[in-house]
Amino acid sequence: MSGLSSLRGGGLSRRQGLALAGAALVSGGIGLGFQAWRQRQQAAFDAETGGLWQQRFARPDGGELVMADLFGRPLLLNFWATWCPPCLREMPELDRFRQAQVARGVQVVGLAVDGPTPVREYLKKTPVGFGIGLAGFDGTELSRRLGNAQGALPFTVLFGRDGRVLARKMGEISAAELQNWAQKL
């Protein structure tokens, strides 16, 4: 017995059965349309944020930095390397920013576009209070996807609670610029 016949046998007229089937088709179409819209929205978000929130990086001290775990709170992300003098000059300023903003829930992360050994050696001599991920030289590509067309260092990006980019800076960042960025949060 077909599905429509069994519906009619259960007390529904042919017209009611067709109306019910039509409503199911419309509802399914709306659901598929919504799903397609959500997929387009997610693709646009991933393109804007360079796929950052799906990334995972080894930590110099062991373990893993999972970017998805940082989503939902403001994030200052800094691309740096041990061979980059402006990068090293701004590290203490980034750490002061983290200390000043921690009560507001702001996170700071440094992604080292460098090898693990020089990063470990640098952090032994000059520890910082924020998380460090080992992006390696592939980090340059991620920074490009986030708006660093030249792939130069240092490069810093500020993300809002919704994971979207609020500000970008190529080159050494100053305390005044960081204070201005804090006002955007």
Give yes or no for residue 121 having a pLDDT over 90. Answer: yes
Give yes or no for residue 37 having a pLDDT over 70. Answer: no
Record the pTM. 0.76
pLDDT (tens digit, 9 = 90+) per residue, 19-31? 777 777 776 767 6
Q: So what's the pLDDT on residue 32?
A: 58
Q: Is 79 exposed, middle or buried (0-12, 13-18, 19+ CB in 10 A)?
A: buried
Answer yes or no: are the C-beta atoms of 129 and 164 closer than 8 Å: no
* Residue with more model confidence, 70 or 4: 70
Average confidence score pLDDT of the chain: 86
- C-alpha 184/C-alpha 48 separation (Å) is 18
